[in-house]
Amino acid sequence: MEHFHYLNGELHCEGVSLRAIADSAGTPTYVYSRATLLENLAAYDRAFASVPHVVCYAMKANSNLGVLASLARAGAGADIVSGGELHRALRAGVPPPKIIFAGVGKTREEMREALKAEILLFNVESESELRALNETAQAMGTRAPVALRVNPDVDPQTHPYISTGLKTAKFGIPMDRAVPVYENAARMPGLAVTGVQMHIGSQLTKTAPFADAVARVAGLVRALRDRGVDIRLLDIGGGVGIRYKDETPPTKDEYARVLLPALRALGVTVLLEPGRSIVGDAGALLTRALYRKESPDKTFVIVDAAMNDLIRPAFYGAYHEIRPVAEAGSSRPAETVDVVGPICESGDFLAKDRALPRVEEGELLAVMSSGAYGFAMASNYNTRPRAAEVLVDGAGYTIVRRRETYEDLVAGESIP
């Protein structure tokens, strides 16, 4: 996270002090570095420059309009999984010919809206969905561009909750069923079969699972072409990990290097769906220590951010580095603490048994590498307003989502 750095004793995002952001926007607040977003996107474009490709940012990682618009202006498309994400993508200026629609449970209304927008591709995950999309497109007098998500049954060696490429997953069509399902799809008058899609999981830190999966899918592409199914697009998904603690994920160049020989040989346009690896290390959650609570067995630092703001530690057991905004000098004693929030749940923690410089009440902390699956998975549990979001650009910043008010929380409700 090179764009988060200490300057004159205070943690900055690019050229802006996080203390200044806290003074203006309050806490908890998500802070994003625009420079990091654009550098991560550009790294994918450079790595895959030798083949036709489109980087379709996986919106589920972070769907803030400011983030989306920044990426869209730099040439990114979008990987969406709902009608709401389609609405956001279009609002942010993502060109419809760069939008791909994934997900196992698309409704017919969502299909209609995507067909009206003339998106690039539907990634279909079941035979039932194929039939529904065919009927929807026919009723509209059009044809839906389709890829089937195939399940290569590759172990991505990641957390089971974010592993999607095994045969036991709810995602995709089994590889041994793919050819007959493709042949059936090719006969449906409302479909234009143009691609193959795969996605084996998230936060992968090795290239071997990617290479194995692409090799298996490349064999399927050749088999389909032999049967007269013209495959022009190959969506290789996303899933490249980032560094949270001591992981060593592949660089974009290393990722591309193991895949490009097979992709070049196929002569396809490559679609990529990176999410976490574009926005994850571009964000930090800014929070303030409220209280210290000490007992003979445990010391707690109670902060104003909670599991409703960042659920990954409670949900996945995920690790996020925590840095004091005021740089800790050598004279500041270290201690082992649990960093917890105000939610009425024992699972409400941001870190357990974490060694930190002593944290005083009122002090600002930054929870690092929280740009992905942070605000996107936030909730209003305990009737807590969701955090503000700030996008930093050089020496300036914009509050790209204001903090919710109590009135926002009850705006859609009524008392009978």
| Token representation of residue 286 | 């800014």
153 or 264, higher pLDDT: 264
Distance (Å) of CA 243 to CA 67, 204, 352, 354, 369: 21, 11, 19, 18, 8
Per-residue pLDDT, 1: 61
Residues 76 and 41: their CA atoms lie apart, in Å, by 8
Which residues are CB-contacts of 367 (< 8 A; sequence separation ≥ 6)?
284, 285, 286, 287, 305, 310, 320, 321, 322, 350
Residue 165 has pLDDT above 50, yes or no: no
Domain boundaries 4-32+280-410, corresponding CATH code: 2.40.37.10
Q: Can you give the pLDDT at residue 73?
A: 98
The active-site residue out of 8, 228, 295, 344 is 344
344 as an active site residue: the answer is yes
pLDDT-derived band of residue 172, with 50, 70 and 90 as boundaries? Answer: confident
What integer best gives the mean pLDDT of the chain?
Answer: 94
Q: State whether residue 136 is helix, strand or coil.
A: helix
Mean pLDDT of 380-407: 98
> Exposed (0-12), middle (13-18) or buried (19+): which is 141, by Cβ within 10 Å?
exposed
- Token pair 């969502």 is found at 110
- Identify the pLDDT of residue 169: 57
- The answer to whether residue 156 scores a pLDDT higher than 90 is no
Token reading at 394? 């050089």
pLDDT at 164 over 50: no
State yes or no: pLDDT of 189 exceeds 90: yes
Range name among 32-41, 112-121, 331-340 with the lowest pLDDT average: 331-340
Please state the domain extents for the chain: 4-32+280-410, 34-276
Reported as a single tens digit per residue, the pLDDT across 6-23 is 999 999 999 999 999 999
Q: What is the pLDDT of residue 168?
A: 52
pLDDT digits (tens, 9 = 90+) for 279-314: 999 999 999 999 999 988 999 999 999 999 999 999
Residues 45-75: pLDDT tens digits?
Answer: 999 999 999 999 999 999 999 999 999 999 9
pLDDT value of residue 389 = 98
pLDDT band at 154 (very low <50, low <70, confident <90, very high): confident
The mean pLDDT of 380-403, rounded to a whole number, is: 98
For residues 371-379, average pLDDT: 98
> How far apart are the C-alpha atoms of 251 and 205, rounded to whole Å?
10
Q: What is the pLDDT of residue 202?
A: 83
Residue 205 — pLDDT band, cuts 50, 70, 90?
confident
The percent of residues in the chain predicted with pLDDT above 70, rounded, is: 96
What's the pLDDT score for residue 162?
39
Q: Which residue has the tokens 């082992």?
A: 336
Q: Is residue 166 predicted with pLDDT exceeding 60?
A: no
Strand, helix or coil at 42? helix
Residue 110, judged by CB atoms within 10 A of its CB (0-12, 13-18, 19+), counts as buried
Q: Which fold has domain 34-276?
A: TIM Barrel (3.20.20)
